[in-house]
Structure 1
């Protein structure tokens, strides 16, 4: 196969720089390296086709190479128009992986890349946000029959999968990688927490200390964003729809209030809910001059861009990834990265050491689905605990750390109801 002729990428001359980026993250992903060694010996995907839709940057590229090392024919596309890195795409094509992706394609191109990826008729998929699954279950049901199952990366994707499952329409098993301990405890909290502020800071070049940050949503991602904002010296307000999470945010030392009140105080806004219209017309109308809006949810619907445009008298790009909206009263509101994932659209995403665990889970979950797809039904499945624990153990060993083990007496004590 000639992957260059079969692929759609921007510029193959960028491949050298892409290889350098991939080599760098490989050096910082020891858990995934260990999985790769296992896959090279066991060849769990021999003779199979795997389709991947993820944010197409260096860490994702290395996951694709690990799956390829397990014997798969891999095709990959992006999961966000602004997170694809063209040099990474070129490097993957040189490494024998079919790629359909470019940075900032128009909506029609973006959809075409997804469909072309599915038209390779994959046996297994790795999805981000449920995009591949949604296309398979709606407009391209003709491509469903060969799919054995797959793994899903995000909260948003799992919500979509569970909606399909609830309606009895899910046609193959999907593992909810996002819900694994080694994903949400580290990737969602520490990964999102750091990478969101990496993206905001490199884009704005403005100080955070002393400012007020409004974090919409206090799930694991919101916890990380709020924690890092506090560490940078900001005053933090959390908005929530869940009373339990709101109390948790309060106990963690943050102010809690409705968005309509928080909108009056915020200098920075970060949405991390997975829902639409979290910041909308009534909020824009009371914001301070100079407020900066960003989103860290999967889709660009959390900040209502239609209403923001309607309220503004003029707009312009004032800096890469910063759009200025001038209100009728002269106030200026700024939106980062078109309201798309700020940590990937305006940055490089999560640190390599964090994605090491997440992508290790993706790799072993995909192998698990391939082994068990005939037995596990058409459902959304949790990552088996033994796989979660294995990834954590590999991480500890990479850190050269050890933990205690229960003695036989301790095990007996825990298993008994007798004093």
Structure 2
């Protein structure tokens, strides 16, 4: 535990701690898998004497992950991975628990970057990253802080793409576990978590009905599948846009209309981007959109909706409701952007449900232990979560639900392992 957490932390207001404590206690009561791992960590102390730096969306579920890692003996320092997803009361509660926090809600860009650097200046042994910011800073700007880093775990598709690019050109200097690519992550977190939390954020922010509207889902990966499925459940007419032919066929066979973005832009009422790429909605699309179109992003960075091109087409801009900006175009139409184009489910909501993040953060905790145990053998590369850890999380989840499953008999195992038995 960091004895000087109160002295060194940078948070908005320590007096907010009681409210943050209630949030953390609530999610902890609904995260049975992580609770089981916490008990294991408390006994085994896998991180005893080590420093762990975490950059994730800093809300209650993330806070509880930090406490689980701390329970394993680590000295934990945490910062946010998005300026608008940090919850100040949760930050204050973590400081009271002896975790060093460098995070505030909606800091200026320079301050946000400085808080990331402060987190790394603790010279961590292990990192948990979301989008690759910590790892990128270590490699590109502050290699002097990297000397004792053993490795870490990455949360998102965006971060993994950056890590694999680093590995490909030989820049990556320590192993990273691709948590996002674990089955339990993309099947449940990306599909069910994103699917629900995106619509929680949109509905809470706009207070508008989805039924009967045309929803355009930009990208049909696991997150896009979840967003489209939940939109359909709300009664929306769903259109999918894609650049991948296989995913486009899948969307079609799932019952959705598939169109090029320029065609979808003409009929969409609500747009949700989930690609991990930039400029998927841009000037040529704004020019044909309906008056009153609503834009939102559920990818990691605020580059999927091109804001500079939207501003260039606009005569004025104003905030019409919390987390809603109205861009009044020069021809009189209005286009609305939610949460500044940042993650709508976190910047305008509370993120994924606790039961979903229970599984994802269990993977994070176990992956961090795995990379600490095997970093020398892994080397400087990106590796997948071992299947046995993925399955372990699923089995813990089933146990928490009181669900049992069958096991193969010896005869069945022998049959599957043989090419001579018929």
For Structure 1 versus Structure 2, the TM-score category normalised by the shorter chain is over 0.9
Matched, 1:254 2:256: yes
Q: Normalising to structure 2: TM-score of the pair?
A: 0.99
Matches within 5 A, 1:1-16: 1-16=3-18
Instruction: Quote the offset at 1:3 in angstroms.
Output: 1.0
- Deviations for 1:81-116, whole angstroms, at most 9, x for unmatched residues? 000000000000000000000000000000000000
Instruction: Quote the offset at 1:5 in angstroms.
Output: 1.3
Query: 2:293 corresponds to which residue?
Result: 291
Q: Secondary structure at 2:136's aligned position in 1? A: helix
Matches within 5 A, 1:241-390: 241-390=243-392
- Deviations for 1:118-169, whole angstroms, at most 9, x for unmatched residues? 0000000000000000000101011111100000000000000000000011
Query: 1:394 corresponds to which residue?
Result: 396
Match for residue 197 of structure 1 among 171, 196, 199: 199
Match for residue 50 of structure 1 among 45, 49, 52: 52
Matched, 1:149 2:151: yes
- Deviations for 1:45-100, whole angstroms, at most 9, x for unmatched residues? 00000000000000000000000000000000000000000000000000000000
Match for residue 106 of structure 1 among 98, 105, 108: 108
Query: 2:229 corresponds to which residue?
Result: 227
Quick one: distance in 1 between partners of 2:184 and 2:252? Answer: 26
Q: Which runs of 5+ in 1 are unaligned?
A: none
Quick one: distance in 1 between partners of 2:21 and 2:47? Answer: 24
Q: Secondary structure at 2:376's aligned position in 1? A: coil
Query: 2:69 corresponds to which residue?
Result: 67
Match for residue 415 of structure 2 among 413, 416, 419: 413
Instruction: Quote the offset at 1:2 in angstroms.
Output: 2.1
Instruction: Quote the offset at 1:409 in angstroms.
Output: 1.1
Q: Secondary structure at 1:373's aligned position in 2? A: helix
Matched, 1:19 2:21: yes
Quick one: distance in 2 between partners of 1:119 and 1:75? Answer: 10
Quick one: distance in 1 between partners of 2:171 and 2:146? Answer: 12
Instruction: Quote the offset at 1:386 in angstroms.
Output: 0.5
Task: Please give the root-mean-square deviation of Cα atoms over the aligned residues, in Å.
Answer: 0.4
Quick one: distance in 2 between partners of 1:314 and 1:393? Answer: 54
Quick one: distance in 2 between partners of 1:218 and 1:285? Answer: 24
Quick one: distance in 2 between partners of 1:392 and 1:328? Answer: 53
Q: Secondary structure at 2:266's aligned position in 1? A: coil
Quick one: distance in 1 between partners of 2:164 and 2:410? Answer: 41
Q: Which runs of 5+ in 2 are unaligned?
A: none
Q: Secondary structure at 1:125's aligned position in 2? A: strand
> What is the total number of aligned residue pairs between the two structures?
419
Instruction: Quote the offset at 1:4 in angstroms.
Output: 1.1
Quick one: distance in 2 between partners of 1:415 and 1:13? Answer: 61
Matched, 1:240 2:242: yes
Q: Secondary structure at 2:83's aligned position in 1? A: coil
Q: Normalising to structure 1: TM-score of the pair?
A: 1.00
Query: 1:30 corresponds to which residue?
Result: 32
Query: 1:89 corresponds to which residue?
Result: 91
Quick one: distance in 2 between partners of 1:283 and 1:209? Answer: 23
- Deviations for 1:280-339, whole angstroms, at most 9, x for unmatched residues? 000000000000000000000000000000000011000000000011111100000000
Single out whichever of 358-367 and 404-413 deviates more from structure 2.
404-413
